[in-house]
Every structure is written in structure tokens, then in C-alpha cells.
Amino acid sequence: MWEQIRSNQIRSVVLTIGMGALLILIGYFLGLYFFDSATGGLIIAILVWAILSLIGYFQGDSILLGMSRAKKISRDDHPRLYNVVEEMKIASGLEKVPDIYIIDDPALNAFATGRDPNRASVAITSGLLQKLNRDELQGVIGHEISHIKNRDVLLMAMCSILLGTIVLLAWYGSRLLFFGGAGSRRSSSSGGGGQAQIIILVVALVFMILAPIFAQLIYFAISRKREYLADASSALYTRNPEGLASALEKLGASTGQLKSANKATAPMYIINPFRRKGMAASDLTSTHPPISERIRILRAMAGASFNDYDQAYRQVHRGGRGVVPAASLAAGTVPISTVKLEGEAGEPNEIQRARETSDAMWRLSNYNTITCDCGAKLRVPPTFKEPTIKCPHCGRTHQV
């Protein structure tokens, strides 16, 4: 599984260089057209990209978490979630427990972010948290942790910034080309070469339109492959592919869209937050493989190793190339864990999980919860200043 990370990196580096080449070409055309010199355009393109990348590198995770209004939790806020993350951290051999966030949203989704394994976070929506039982939660968290372990998170963040820069420059560039702008200045300054001028204009225009599309296709290719690998790693860590499969089933059945997601952040989530209902085809313009296919692969696994995942993948795809790099396949046989650990009898049901999650959310919004002897729960808002409060149900008074 360590060789896999390396082979991943090589492939991704090649694809990222492809995107970088697109950025440089855009800068080249912009410069050629607007400043008469390719260098000026190149400098602008690289400067924009560098500034965005620096922001993304140092603040990307806080921006993403802030945008999705995620709240950081400690062990006491939600012991089960905290424990499951710790379990997956141990199984994956990460050195540090990532920060854990809950997004107060009924939509079902989860994502991981952070620039390296030592500064990483996982976030999960409250909707998903109450929907999943322990095994399923383990599968989902295992998937997110393996994004951290395989160092997908930084790469995907950097790729999305590169993509964003290309889209941004192409958008402004093509608008400026259309509506004249600097174009008139250029034609007066260089007199004779009218025809060459038109050719450059047409090439530049076509390129401005195509570049964002190409960049996006490359981006999706990187992202999809990594989703499969994260599924495979999650099955390996938990030794239980059924957990993730069953979680994905629940995720696939929901139709709610996450309010706070946007197109650039979509690949960070465990399922595509913008999917349409019933969409099953794996087309080129999706950041994620179709859920039904991911479930079929997981359920076809005979063991829990990468090798088993690769075979299941081939089986679902009827031959062809596998998805796991060859170097990591030699890991030997890994049985699926059939030993059920004790305590399952006491596993909370969905109502209890919903209660537990909403308690955590109230607490995170600084509400004070008082349980009255009559069984009522009083939620005291942080703006409540009185020293005592009366239970509206039975009339007992409580200290705040």
C-alpha cells in the first residue's frame, strides 16, 4: 500500500504537469495578444496561480471548513464519531488523529482536507452521522482517512486551484477578445500583418474555449481514480467492505444536495454533492465514479486486500485494466473480518443516533442543555442571562 502511494504520485504528477502546460499556453496567448510579448502573459498567469496556490496551501483547509460552516468537535461532543476516527487512524498507521468537524446539514456527505497527514481534518454532515451505524461510519471514515494517508487531499486542492486559475484566465481572456479591449491598440501598433493577426485571434479564441474543458477532464480523471483507491484502502483498513458498501447505498438513496458545496470543492466529498438522481453512467464529466458501481465492486470482493479489490473491479468492468497499481498487489491474502466485536447489541438505533447528534449540535452552538426530572430537555440559549429557569412542562426551577 506504500508503493501504491508512490505510483499514484507519478501518475498524478504527469497529469498535473499537463494542466500546468495548459496554464502556460493560456498565459502565452494572452500575452501575445494583449501585450505583444508572450513573457508578460506568462508572468501574469504564473503570478495569479502562485498567489492562489499559496493561499490554498496555507489556508485552504480553513477556508473550505469555514465555507461549509463546519464545527470542530472534541471527544465529549460525540464520543462514537471521535472513537471511530481514532480506530481508523490506528488501522491506517497515521501518526496524528485528524481534527474532526461536523457540518450541520441534513444532506449526506463527508470530506477530508488538510495539507499533509499532520495537519488534516475530516468533516461529516450531521445528516450522515445519524444515518450510519458503526460499521458504516467506519467505512466512510476509513475512506476519508485514506485520502489523507494517500496524500490525495493536498494534490486535489492544488489541482482544483490550477483548474480555477485556468478557468479564470480563460474567462476574462475570451471576454476581452470578444469585446475588443486591447485588440484595437494592437492592430494600430503593428500595421501590416492583418492576416497573421486574425489567425492568432482565432487560435487564441478557440484555445480559450477549449482549455478549461481539457483542464476539467484531466482533473476528473485524477479525482475518479483516487476515489477507487480510497474505497480499496477503506476496505483494507476496516477488513469489512460491506460497511462502506452499505454506507454508500444509504448515500446513494438520498437526493438532498449539500448547500455549502460548490463545483471546485466537489471532488473532496465522498460522493459527488451535485449528482442528479438516477444518474448511473460513468461519463467523463463526473468527479466520482457512479455509486452503484462502487457498491458492486465492494460487494464482489472475496477478501479485503488491494488484490481482491482489483479483481472485483475487473469483474465488474468485464476485464480490461485494473485500478490498483501493480506494485501494491503483492500484499498476500487478507481475509474479510468475520469476527463481530462485542457491544453490537448495545449499538444505538437511528432515533438514538439522531438524538445524540442533535445534542452535539446544540452544544456546539453554545446551548446549555438541562435535563429536567420530568424527562423534558431544556435548551438554554447562550443569550439567556437569568440565574434560574423554569421547566415549561412541570414547573420545576433549575439553576442555569
Task: State which residue, 83 or 292, has the beta carbon closest to other proteins.
Answer: 83
Interacting residues of 194 by C-beta distance below 8 A, sequence separation 6+: 187
Three-state DSSP at 50 gives: helix
Could you tell me the CA-to-CA distances from 288 to 268, 281, 282, 364 in Å, in that order? 10, 11, 8, 32
**Active-site annotation holder among 87, 136, 144, 227:** 144
What number of other Cβ atoms are within 10 A of residue 273's Cβ? 25
Give the one residue of 339, 351, 382, 399 binding other proteins; rule: CB under 8 A. 339
Q: Is 134 in the site for other proteins (CB under 8 A)?
A: yes
Q: CB 95 → other proteins: shortest distance, Å?
A: 9
Q: Is 178 in the site for other proteins (CB under 8 A)?
A: no
Q: Is 281 in the site for other proteins (CB under 8 A)?
A: no
Give the one residue of 277, 283, 319, 342 binding other proteins; rule: CB under 8 A. 342
Measured CA to CA, the distance from residue 69 to residue 65 in angstroms comes to 6
| Residue 391, all three cell numbers | 421547566
| Residue 65, all three cell numbers | 471548513
Q: CB 79 → other proteins: shortest distance, Å?
A: 5
Q: Which of residues 47-86 bind other proteins (CB under 8 A)?
A: 79-80, 83-84, 86
Q: CB 119 → other proteins: shortest distance, Å?
A: 20
Give the one residue of 320, 345, 387, 388 binding other proteins; rule: CB under 8 A. 345
The contact pattern for other proteins, residues 287-326, with x = CB under 8 A and - = no contact, is ----------------------------------------
Measured CA to CA, the distance from residue 384 to residue 320 in angstroms comes to 64
Q: Is 93 in the site for other proteins (CB under 8 A)?
A: yes
What number of other Cβ atoms are within 10 A of residue 394's Cβ? 11
Q: Is 2 in the site for other proteins (CB under 8 A)?
A: yes
| Residue 291, all three cell numbers | 455509486
Task: State which residue, 333 or 397, has the beta carbon closest to other proteins.
Answer: 333
Strand arrangement of the beta sheet that strand 70-72 belongs to: 70-72, 99-103, 119-125, 110-116
Three-state DSSP at 218 gives: helix
Q: Are 123 and 65 in contact (CB under 8 A)?
A: yes
What number of other Cβ atoms are within 10 A of residue 218's Cβ? 20
344 is an active site residue: no
Q: CB 213 → other proteins: shortest distance, Å?
A: 42
Site for other proteins, rule CB under 8 A:
2, 79-80, 83-84, 86-88, 90-93, 134, 237, 239, 332, 337, 339, 341-346, 348
Name the residues annotated as catalytic: 144
